[in-house]
Homo-oligomer: A and B are copies of this chain.
Amino acid sequence: MIDEMAFPMPRPLQPRSAWRRSISDAMDRAAPAALQAVRASLWNLASLALALSVWQLVCLTVSPDFPTPLASFRVCVQLLGTAFTKIDGTPGIGFQVLASLRRIAIGFALSAAVAIPAGVLIGVSPTCRKLLDPIVQVLRPVSPLVWFPLALVAFKSMGGVSSSTLFTIFITSLWPTLINTAVGVKSLPGDYRIVAQVFRFSRGRYLRKILLPHSLPYILTGLRLSMGNAWLVIVAAEMLSGDVGIGFFAWDSYNAGGYERMIAAVAAIGGVGLALDRGFNALHRHFDYRGADQ
């Protein structure tokens, strides 16, 4: 849902109403899941139909050469048919997606491992913030297409391309997590800190029971956006490196002028991207106490 896609939102200021809301939420949750699922999928179908008709319209009017939905669909079906087989040497689209996912998983994990601690640091210490903020700001808008070659030079000594692909994914998915973690940590209400002091919370307990739980929703939002970034740059990274993957598949199809195949790649990228996003959303909602925050 759109409204789950953005960062934490300010809540109305009436505790009671918040409490009330959480009740009615509970009721919604209670409603038979099956029925909800059906309704949801119906809506998805509707929007699919909408998208297709717009697409078809475009084909019929402005751009006659643009591949039609039907043609693309045929190709998709055919590709799905051979998703997990190797046709004369080239692995099917399924393998390609998996390869990209694996690559992303690694790069993403690395970035999370760096971004979260860094974010906490920046959030906790104003000095760190003042020091690192400009760097973050300057590096953030740098394109993956630029990072990749730089990484190539930097990592020549070690592992070469695979590591530069990973680095590209790593660096581009670093920022959202870092920034959101920082924001989350920074937004910890002072009173919680006092609570911790009053009850003599140890450093560890403070971190485990107050700082992290408070920041978790922010961190998860950041991770979700990072995942989005990672998925967004996969094409660039794989195009330049030529590593097997859905991104390279798209580039390869483009070279061969296989626009339908390209659209299939788009669908695959979009679909998987969506799935990842939904996954993180679920996590996020699960860990979000904010309906609560009074």
Contact = CB atoms under 8 A, between A and B. Distances in A.
Contacts of A43: 130-131, 134
Interface in A1-52: 1-3, 5-13, 15, 43-44, 46-48, 50-51
A294 B13 contact: yes
A140 B267 CA distance: 11
Contacts of A154: 58, 62-63, 66
A156 B293 CA distance: 53
Contact of A259 (B132, B135, B150, B277): B150
A72 B269 CA distance: 37
A204 interface: no
Interface in A242-294: 247, 250-251, 254, 259, 262-263, 265-267, 269-274, 277, 290, 293-294
Interface stretch (A90-98, A105-113, A194-202, A230-238): A230-238
A183 to B, nearest CB: 4
A166 interface: no
Contacts of A235: 143, 145-146
A135 B47 contact: yes
Contacts of A69: none
A58 B167 CA distance: 15
A155 interface: yes
Sorting the interface of chain A by its residue count into under 10, 10 to 19, 20 to 34 or 35 or more gives 35 or more
A76 to B, nearest CB: 13
Given A10-B293, A142-B266, A48 B187 contact: no
A116 interface: no
A250 B3 contact: no
A7 B217 CA distance: 13
A138 B271 contact: yes
A47 B10 contact: no
A179 interface: yes
Contact of A63 (B51, B157, B233, B254): B157
A250 B135 CA distance: 20
14 contacts: A1-B129, A2-B133, A2-B179, A9-B187, A13-B293, A43-B130, A47-B130, A47-B134, A50-B132, A137-B270, A137-B273, A137-B277, A138-B273, A146-B254
Interface of A: 1-3, 5-13, 15, 43-44, 46-48, 50-51, 58, 62-67, 122-123, 129-143, 145-146, 149-150, 153-158, 179-180, 182-183, 186-187, 189, 218, 228, 231-236, 239, 247, 250-251, 254, 259, 262-263, 265-267, 269-274, 277, 290, 293-294
